Structure 1
Amino acid sequence: MQISDVKIENLFAVIDWCIKNSFPEDYDARCLYSACAIHAILISKGVKAVIVGGNMGAFTLSADGRKALLEGFSGGDMVQPSHYWVEANGVILDPCVSYLPRRSRICAVSMPMVAWSKNVALPNYLQYVEKIRYAEEVGFIFPDDIGIRVQEFIEYCQKQYSSKTVKKKFATWLLSNPNELNNAARLGDRWAKGAIRFQSMNSVPTIPS
């Protein structure tokens, strides 16, 4: 997927590499860092982008295929959202969905990163509830130690993204619309096949609004 001059797979590959190297023990809990870095890089490339905070839930499937859940982040509010993502050019950008299996209750199969076009309604297997939308030029105010770490992470990602050396590998696939889901399922992706079944159910769990 391309947004202006930015290939999203390349951007996500850099963010993924940087966040796992910076926070190896809890990279799956660093969505704010990820969102801030994605936002900063897009803005630097002339792309209008905003950080959004709220709740997120996604379908997860156990490795044996016998259990399925809706897992994610909820319970936050406008002051302190439970999850952060970026929206640009009508696309929800959220690589952190792919980290849900790390702490899943069911030993979940691998999942894609998300670049979902809002031209298509969100499906049951990928749910977002917006709580707050920050201004494009937002300046977050953090406690000093957190602010320093966030800024250092942004600069680290920007440096790696601009590097002319070996590009980081995009380790998963990109969920952008139902067609991409169907393509992944045809190629045998277990999560994609399970998500299609989940979508067809008459009643599914939902995240709090």
Structure 2
Amino acid sequence: MRIGRVKVEDLYATIDWCLRKDFPLDFDSRCLYTAYAIHSVLKNEGIPSIIVGGDALAFTVSVDGSQASVEGFAGAKQGEPSHYWVETSNLLLDPNVSYLPERSRIKRVPMPMVAWERKQPLSQSLQYREQIRHDENVEFRFTEDIAARMDSFVKICIKRFKSKAGKKRLSGFIISSPESIKQHASNGNKWALSALRFQKMQSVPTI
């Protein structure tokens, strides 16, 4: 899958590697860093995108298949978005969904990174509710220390993405449409198989 010249798998592999290197203890809770970095890499490649803030929920299931739930990023105080993702003209980009099992009390099956085709209806196993859509040329105002760390992180991501030496190997999997979930399920992916069963329920939890 590509956005212009950018291969999504390479972009996500880059962001994932940089997150785990810079934030080894809490890489799973750095969605604004992720969104800002993706937006910056795409901008550097001449590809327009925007950062969106809001709530996001995704279907999760335990390794033994006995417990399933909808978990995610919602309910932030004072009207601030709970989560951030990026949108291009045709894709919703959010690799951070794959990190939801990191802090779960129950061992969960690996979850997908998201590069959803916006022309496709969202699956019930993947829910987004936007609160704010930032301008394409948005400039966030951070405290001096956060601004410095954000700037450093973005530069590392851009450098690694452009590097020919750094290997870009994505360890997880990406979903892009209802059909892609079915394809992963046909290949035996445990999350996708359970997600298809979840979607057949008459009533499912929603944001």
CA-to-aligned-CA distance 1:58-91 (integer Å, 9 cap, x gap): 0000010000010000013785211000001221
Distance change >3 Å, CA 205–CA 173, structure 1 → 2: same
* Aligned-partner Cα distance in 2 for 1:11–1:78: 32
Partner of 1:58: 58
Partner of 2:189: 189
Partner of 2:14: 14
Q: Is the 8 A contact 2:113 2:173 kept in 1?
A: yes
What SS does structure 2 have at the residue aligned with 1:149? helix
* 1:111 is the counterpart of 2:111: yes
What SS does structure 1 have at the residue aligned with 2:153? helix
Partner of 1:67: 67
Partner of 2:176: 176
Q: How many residue pairs get matched? A: 207
* 1:102 is the counterpart of 2:133: no
Distance change >3 Å, CA 55–CA 66, structure 1 → 2: same
What SS does structure 1 have at the residue aligned with 2:42? helix
Partner of 2:76: 76
List structure 1 runs of 4+ shifted beyond 2 angstroms: 76-80
* 1:41 is the counterpart of 2:64: no
Partner of 1:128: 128
* Aligned-partner Cα distance in 1 for 2:191–2:115: 16
Partner of 1:202: 202
What SS does structure 2 have at the residue aligned with 1:130? strand
**C-alpha displacement at 1:201, in angstroms?**
0.5
TM-score scaled by structure 1?
Answer: 0.96
* Aligned-partner Cα distance in 2 for 1:188–1:170: 19
Q: Is the 8 A contact 1:123 1:199 kept in 2?
A: yes
What SS does structure 2 have at the residue aligned with 1:99? helix
* Aligned-partner Cα distance in 2 for 1:136–1:33: 16
* Aligned-partner Cα distance in 2 for 1:186–1:89: 29
Superposed, 1:158-177 pairs within 5 Å as 158-177=158-177
* 1:28 is the counterpart of 2:24: no
CA-atom RMSD, angstroms?
Answer: 1.1
**C-alpha displacement at 1:134, in angstroms?**
0.2
* Alignment-mate amino acid for residue 11 of structure 2: L
Q: Is the 8 A contact 1:31 1:85 kept in 2?
A: yes
What SS does structure 2 have at the residue aligned with 1:19? helix
* Aligned-partner Cα distance in 1 for 2:179–2:43: 29
What SS does structure 1 have at the residue aligned with 2:36? helix
TM-score scaled by structure 2?
Answer: 0.97
What SS does structure 2 have at the residue aligned with 1:59? strand
Structure 1: which 5+ residue stretches go unaligned? none
Identity %: 50
* Alignment-mate amino acid for residue 108 of structure 1: R
* Aligned-partner Cα distance in 2 for 1:20–1:113: 15
* Alignment-mate amino acid for residue 46 of structure 2: G
Structure 2: which 5+ residue stretches go unaligned? none
